[in-house]
Structure 1
Amino acid sequence: MTVIALASAKSCGVTTSALAMTLSSTRPSLLAECDPAGGTIRAGLFQAQITAGTGLYHLAVAERAGEDALAQAFAHHLVGLDASGHRQVLPGLTDPAQAPALVRSWPALAQVMRVLSDEGGYDVIVDAGRLALESGRLHSTLTPAPLLHGADLVLLVVRATDQSLALARHMSEPLRNELTEHGTGADALGVLLIEDGHRRAHEVSEALRLPVMASLPWEPDTAAYLAGTSRAPRGLKKSPLLSSARTAVSYLQAAAARRALHQQYPPTPSAPSPPWGPAIQPAPGPAVLPAPAAPQIAGVLQRLGQGRVDPRG
């Protein structure tokens, strides 16, 4: 299916947006909270019902024991977001000091997410948090760069304000270069616009030289619930935020499918530009295709189907 990574130049609602998209997907979905600065879902939406014994950090420990241990740990550390079990979350770090332990684990985790998408039929939403640069490149410790490299789409979450645009403008070019050199191409990069501010989509696209691939309305009540600071509002299932997130996910799935088709069958030089956004052109060179999954990694799919103990008891 689709791997979508969300990130921002500064806190712009990445986790709330990722939760809304995961909860709204019409297909099995997984949210991986991979912000090296620490996760907020555990203390927020789950109201501290999940202990530090569950979550991302333990996958770094398991990865050192081998791929099979990583696959077992990945399935064990997922927590259900709904009663059906079709929507799940991998809670993030409890302490930013744990981030260095994940540097060598990100590539293996990226492969697991690729397997879940391509072979398991999951939509995988990666919360990459706030991006950090080092000498003009993504910081190796403070950013989960391999997860961005392997994603079908990478969305820079931006609010429709001048302040948010100013911060994102400094991040868009390094991120575009990173995906050109190490990812699936610069055309994987776009904007998820949070409609909190006076800037229109075309203004955001022109300012950042990136296509606005999706947008979400500013709805404080539902956002507060997803952040864990308020009770669920009445009519949550009909929330404009969740409804728009459902539409956004469907559009992004289609955009990712078009990208994959374009990479597999690139147009001739005289062919028109692809339809997913005029702001950037596909990067030259061969498509970056996922490597076949090792049997141990592919085994995570079977373990996911066998059920897990809810860490909340």
Structure 2
Amino acid sequence: MPIAGNRDGASSRGGWFHDWSGPLVLALVVTIAGPVAAEDFPLRDKYASVGVPPVETEELADSLDAMTVVDARSPYEYETLHIRDAVSIPLDSGDFKESVLALAEESGQPLVFYCNGVTCAVSYKAALKAKKAGVADARVYDAGVLAWARENPEQTVLLGEPLQSDDQLIADEEFKRRLLAEDAFYARIQSSDDPMIVDIRSRDQRQGVSLFQMRDRHVPLTGDNRELDGLVETAKSEDRPMFFVDATGKQVRWLQYYLEERGISEYWFLEGGASQIYESMSTQ
């Protein structure tokens, strides 16, 4: 079966980042990692009994050539930032089981799955799914790609190029500055002249439901970025603020790089994403 990525820092699932031009505006988000403690890794206790042991940052760095690293996130996230030589096999890909089995057989090494950080369960779910598929040695790097990038920039790939320094990653505060709580998000939309609202959830996540009375545009983040390119150019030329909604408020972290590179100054993200809206609706 085909592997969903390759081991030279490039992905075989889409490549729209490589079509960008112009100076790089460094707008990725990083959470500064603290000392290792049980409370810093809230998912470890939950998954302790399923046989997918965690790998610490230093251990993975020392054994990078002896382990095969698997990025279980979306291709979009992978192409933004990933661990050097990581293979892209998204957890929700249709050929996940076949791909991880083929990769384990090809490499003859333990498979180490990672995602975005300590509260992201994708790595654990991927490792567990791999074990159920027949992968004998599946582990997780649950500190996540951002913690890795800060500690090991030379072993990190940013938009297809080696990360030169952790200075290319901006502080978490810069991302939070663009986050608006639900009430503030709606208020800013209402007070804006001709706002552009963009729902970037996948089709499965959206399920055909508009949360903004059909005032929003549905543009899933996929390998084909032409529609989003068009909206961004329209927003720039007409001086319209942009408002983005994802599923849980995490995918917009990666979108921020694109928006900064494109020179968008007025853009906002809904804190908590669509899940926050649904939660509010359920309590009313």
In the superposition, the TM-score normalised over structure 1's length comes to 0.27
Higher relative contact order (CA 8 A, sep 6+): 1
